[in-house]
Chains A and B, each alone.
Chain A
């Protein structure tokens, strides 16, 4: 396989509603930004790009089938190749990886990965229903199942088995909202306290409104290229490309119904030992995995991506993570899946300060210095979650972080880490049915 590089990216501001434009035109905003950032003229882009991958989750929200081709023609990309990917909340992460594959395989030299979701066309509760249709419609949805309820059940078990607390979860919300305060693309830019998060109305016990991301309209895209592709872009722009290397990708899956998740041994990361998951602190003396307290797909995706990128000890070797925090609880569970801490220790890890940004006052007493900031952009909780765009948004923010251009794009340098070498992006669907992890490195 050939090396793959992230060249450029763009994000439309994520908003509650964008009635001013149809989905095609919102995607175009992100694409135009992507090209302008590297000084690539639109006609020249159409000439040198080999194809695209389209990312959107729900046909119900658009009430339009084959919306992908409508974006493709609006962008002027017809008759070049394209296909649509769909995998719930992980749709954007899958899209990024499909574009990676197009280039790594040698099929393309330059590929555009674009994604969108326009969720404002129905009210929040109808939107919850559309999303709930991404759960088993014979056994789960008709019981009154909806995603906040599913994740709440997962974290209740996490709390029972490991002693995780709602205050630990609230730390994630405070952190991510505070980070987003400096991100102009974010839908919610709020300075919150632990009390604000716990005082917000409960949606599904114990998750409050401020533990949960919001629906959103928005688009994002990234331009990926091979080494030959980089040369073509540099020739077309007359400028050196500040490219980021995509050092590895990984994916995993799990059963749609949480009820079906088995109890097995933990697939260990290189820095973990079998004895880490045996002992009195686990129910029955041994961790029963994944159960419904952990995301086996997240562990699988991490294992694959780390192997691919040569990562042995993620907390030491990854400088930041943009991960799928649709719920504060799922951010905590994901720390464990990605091996930033051990299973069962995610709650405590959320409060130490290791996942916070340096130089930002969160109004919290944090015991440790930042080690690996998680969701420096503000994550889904604060940026919003226009499903098909989300995983690509993470890729764009991670690329800017590694390019050192956050200050330029956000018009505020507060969220720029000092010389980050390596970042991970993590995209996650339906209580962990599909999960992707991709590793990006400074070139």
Chain B
């Protein structure tokens, strides 16, 4: 049976329109200001760590892992399961938990997600007998006292008690 009084539901949310242009004379339309809308955009993204997953499992157990090429022995301090030097497959190896600051910066700004954490210190850590570096956070020094003398500083790994399964589950402090 037909319902002639049917109505679409009216809701509260809507577009915020900053301009509603329309002159009598449509020939003038080209001169009007543009309509600019704000459109919220949120997604839940399903990210897999794939072959790198054991590294994150290692952090949850307070162990820092790297990889070593089965063929040429090249050692990666940020895990790589395929060797960049020879194309060989790599095995997991335990890393030392002490290293040196190879370089760093103090971030006074950042991408939006990390703005609330500023100022924070990013550093690349080098480890004895490993050919590559690891990007991490450095805490325990005053970001206002940044100086080149921090390069070469001995640091040691610390782990979050409650793992978030992110690379920030490990961070470094002066050794």
Q: List A contacts of B47 (CB < 8 A).
A: 137-138
Please encode chain B, from 140 to 154, with 1 for each CB lying within 8 Å of some chain A CB and 0 for all others. Answer: 000100101001000
In Å, the complex CA distance between A207 and B109 comes to 11
The interface residues of chain A lying within 8 Å CB-to-CB of B133 are 258-260, 292
Query: In the complex, which residues of chain B have a beta carbon less than 8 angstroms from the beta carbon of A206?
Result: 146
The answer to whether A132 touches B106 (Cβ under 8 A) is no
Contacts A152-B105, A160-B148, A262-B131 given; does A123 touch B122 at CB 8 Å = no
Query: CB within 8 Å of B: which of A136-174?
Result: 137-146, 148-149, 152-154, 156-157, 159-160
**Contact A63–B108 (Cβ < 8 Å):** no
Quick one: which of B102, B115, B146 has the most chain A CB within 10 A?
Answer: B102
Asked if B128 is an interface residue, CB under 8 A from chain A, the answer is: no
Q: A129 to B115, alpha carbons, bound, how many Å?
A: 10
Q: Which residue of B lies closest to A163 (CB)?
A: B148
The answer to whether A144 and B114 have CB atoms under 8 Å apart is yes
A146-B105 contact in complex given A19-B36, A20-B34, C-beta closer than 8 Å:
no
Bound CA–CA A292/B151 (angstroms): 13
Residue of B nearest to A130 (CB): B111
Contacts of A409 on B, CB cut-off 8 Å? none
Cβ of A202 < 8 Å from any Cβ of B? yes
When the two chains form their complex, are residues B104 and A146 in contact, meaning their CB atoms are under 8 A apart?
A: no
Complexed CA–CA distance, A262 and B47 (Å): 28
Q: Name the contact of B103 in the complex, choosing from A125, A142, A156, A202 (C-beta under 8 A).
A: A156
Question: If A156-B104, A205-B106, A262-B131 touch, does A257 touch B113 (CB 8 Å cutoff)?
Answer: no
Residue among A139, A204, A260, A263 making CB contact with B109, cutoff 8 Å: A204
Closest-by-CB residue of A relative to B41 is: A63
Q: How far is the CA of A63 from the CA of B42 in the complex (A)?
A: 12
Give per-residue flags for B87-111: 1 if the beta carbon is below 8 A from chain A beta carbons, else 0: 0000000000000001111111111
Asked whether, in the complex, the Cβ of B111 is within 8 Å of the Cβ of A160, the reply is: no
Q: Is B57 an interface residue (CB 8 A)?
A: no
Per a CB cutoff under 8 Å, which of A21, A128, A143, A153 touches B104? Answer: A153
> Is the Cβ of A138 less than 8 Å from the Cβ of B168?
no
In the complex with contacts A143-B135, A160-B151, A205-B106, A257-B78 CB distance below 8 A:
yes
The contact of B105 among A19, A125, A149, A263, by CB within 8 Å, is A149
B52: nearest chain-A partner, CB-CB: A138
Contacts of A131 in B (CB 8 A): 111
Give the distance in Å from the alpha carbon of A123 to the alpha carbon of B77 in the complex: 35
Cross-chain contact A259 with B106 (CB below 8 angstroms): no
A61-80: CB near B (< 8 Å → 1, else 0) gives 00100000000000000000
- Interface residues in B58-98 by Cβ distance below 8 A to A read 76-78, 80, 84-85
Residues 256-272 of chain A, each 1 if its beta carbon lies under 8 Å from chain B, else 0: 01111111000000000
A366 at the interface (CB under 8 A from B): no
Chain B residue nearest in CB terms to A141: B111
Residue B112 CB within 8 A of the other chain: yes
Q: Is A368 an interface residue (CB 8 A)?
A: no
Please measure, in the bound complex, the distance between the C-alpha atom of A142 and the C-alpha atom of B124, giving whole angstroms.
14
A128, A143, A255, most chain B CB atoms within 10 A: A143
B126-144 contacts to A, CB under 8 A, are 131-137, 143
Is A199 an interface position by the 8 A CB rule? no
Residue interface mask B29-69, A partner, CB < 8 A = 1: 00001101001010000010100100000000000000000
Contact A129 B112 (CB under 8 A): yes
Bound-state Cα–Cα, A153 to B41, Å = 32
Does the CB pair B117–A144 fall under 8 Å? yes
**A312 contacts the other chain (Cβ, under 8 Å)?**
no
**Contact, CB under 8 Å: A139 / B113:** no
> Are B135 and A140 in touch, CB under 8 angstroms?
yes
Closest partner residue, chain A, to B136 (CB atom):
A143
A260 to B133, CA, bound (A): 6
Q: B107 to A149, Cβ gap below 8 A?
A: yes
Q: Which residues of A contact B111 (CB under 8 A)?
A: 125-126, 128-129, 131-132, 141, 144, 146
A203 proximal to B (CB < 8 A): yes
The residue that A292 contacts in the complex, of B103, B113, B115, B137, with Cβ under 8 A, is B103
17 A-B residue pairs with Cβ-Cβ distance under 8 Å, sorted by A, are A128-B110, A138-B52, A139-B135, A140-B167, A144-B168, A149-B105, A157-B102, A160-B103, A160-B148, A203-B107, A205-B105, A255-B84, A257-B78, A260-B76, A260-B84, A260-B132, A262-B85
Additional A-B contacts beyond A143-B167, A153-B103 (5; CB < 8 A): A138-B52, A144-B120, A145-B122, A146-B111, A204-B108
Residues on B close to A: CB < 8 A?
A: 33-34, 36, 39, 41, 47, 49, 52, 76-78, 80, 84-85, 102-115, 117, 120, 122-124, 131-137, 143, 146, 148, 151, 166-168
